[in-house]
Amino acid sequence: MKIPRINTKTTNMEMTSKLQSLLDHKLLPLEKFITDHSDTKCDVELEKLTDHQSGKIYRAEINLFNGGELYRAEATEEQIERAIDVARDELKRELRRDSDKKQSLKIKGERSIKDMLRSDE
């Protein structure tokens, strides 16, 4: 299963089918963090910076809307594939952090309910 609705925008470069399939493949591991597929939207912007001749000339920006939350990552690298990887890893880190935080709050709530039930006995 893929992330639904990946909107891709390119600036100063051409979007090829190879690049689109690479992008789909790279974003596939983020699927496990998506909670509700009905309102999930992913916007990706790939850009070749025009004022550079060498160095970090490719930029990848990923905005993921999931469950009413916005997750955003951006990376500038020498290769477009590397920029996509760095942005994806940053986004994955952000999604994992949020997921862990929600899980910790859930466990804390369950623990407090269990303590309240024990105190009634």
The SS3 of residue 77 is: strand
Pick the CATH number of 6-120 from 3.40.50.2300, 1.10.10.10, 3.30.160.100, 3.40.50.300: 3.30.160.100
If you count them, how many residues does the chain have?
121
Express each pLDDT in 46-56 by its tens digit: 999 877 677 77
Name the pLDDT band for 1 (thresholds 50, 70, 90): very low
β-sheet with 6-11: strand ranges across: 6-11, 41-48, 58-66, 69-77
How much is the pLDDT for 59? 93
Residue 28: alpha-carbon gap to chain centroid: 10
The SS3 of residue 16 is: coil
Average pLDDT, the chain: 85
For the chain, which residues make up each domain, given as ranges?
6-120
Say how far apart CA 38 and CA 113 lie, in whole Å. Answer: 32
How much is the pLDDT for 62? 95
Say how far apart CA 87 and CA 60 lie, in whole Å. Answer: 7
Cα angle: 114, vertex 120, 121; to 5 degrees: 100
Which residue would you say has higher pLDDT here, 103 or 57? 57
Q: Average of pLDDT values for 7-13?
A: 90
How much is the pLDDT for 52? 65
How much is the pLDDT for 3? 66
Full-model pTM = 0.77
Express each pLDDT in 63-94 by its tens digit: 998 878 899 999 999 999 999 999 999 999 99
